Copies of this chain bind each other. A is one copy, B any other.
């Protein structure tokens, strides 16, 4: 017998929404039509995911008029042109204010689709159906949508909360190993920033996760979503606590920016970024070693690619976490306890970046 789906709420004043996590939800008896605002919806996906899951999703939408479109694949399609393509499709479908846009796919599909939904008629409803681990534990929850600019990642976007996040963990069965591992980087992040106990659980259960054990994955996804939902409820627009979710990300974005988006997966860059952020943190070496070890045990990189330290530094200066021209980082007091700060050791930063004398 299938376990009952786990449902919990993201609490946002007036715009709270449920996250539903379970097996066999797509194509099963979950009534997605009941969550639409009107009768029409547009499902945005890509060819790979649509081939696998679109027919199943349509069974959850029996009472609705379903329009469809596919985007291209990969971080390179996260452009304003793709947003325009989704909006063109909405116009051609005569979509009105009561339409619902459904993102079926990974983070790229969700980010583009959510931003298009945010802009179309100044905001129509949308639903996230994430099919990658990264999207399930991170990008589909919290309402951040947007696309890249040649000058930086996610520079163009909106806060636009979904009506519902529907996570069918069975979709992970078809996820390539490399993407599963990339998703685990964000899972590890949640332990590091706010739950030492969950971090210990990850240290002991990494093999089960890599082996795609359904219960282990469901637990990791639920705990990740709970932590993210709690942070987002407290600070939707990233005025404070939400910045903690960017642990490792200032470095990661700089790496992605220097390599060109798409060379490394986002989660891979985050993995290295977390090792670098741990290196910049004033924690003891034993904790740094545990962090490196758990990231390595997930099959993720722990050292940056060959990039000149000066180039990485320049990329970080452009990063949107920079405020009033001063670099800020999320650092650790200890495993499970992160904080945002503009105070850090320049020497240690140079060392982490392999810059100048720092490279001993």
| CB-contact partner of A144 in B119, B122, B149, B151, under 8 A | B122
A123 within 8 A of B: yes
B118 and A87 contact, CB distance less than 8 A? no
Q: Does A200 contact B (CB under 8 A)?
A: no
Q: Does the CB pair B96–A322 fall under 8 Å?
A: yes
Report A108-122 CB contacts with B as 1/0, cut-off 8 Å. Answer: 000000000011111
Complex alpha-carbon distance, A324 and B320, angstroms: 39
Q: Binary interface profile of A, 93-128, with partner B (CB < 8 Å = 1, else 0)?
A: 010111000000000000000000011111100000
Query: Could you give, for residues 54-88 of chain A, a 1 whenever the CB lies within 8 Å of some chain B CB and a 0 otherwise?
Result: 00000000000000000000000000100010011
Give complex CA distance A91, B315 in Å.
12
Question: How many copies of the shown chain assemble into the complex?
Answer: 2
- Report chain B residues within 8 Å CB of A157: 119, 121-122
- Size of the A side of the interface (Cβ < 8 Å), in residues, is 38
Cα-based distance from A323 to B121 in the complex (angstroms): 12
Q: Which residue of B lies closest to A144 (CB)?
A: B122
A93 → B minimal CB distance (Å): 10
A320 to chain B, nearest CB (A): 5
Q: Which of B98, B120, B155 contacts A156 (CB 8 A)?
A: B120
A119 touches B158 (CB 8 A): yes
The docked-state distance in angstroms from the alpha carbon of A151 to that of B97 is 15
Q: Assess the A94–B320 pair: CB atoms within 8 A.
A: no
17 A-B pairs whose Cβ atoms sit less than 8 Å apart in the complex: A80-B80, A88-B151, A91-B150, A91-B318, A94-B317, A96-B323, A97-B320, A97-B322, A97-B323, A119-B119, A119-B156, A119-B157, A122-B144, A122-B146, A123-B159, A123-B237, A158-B158
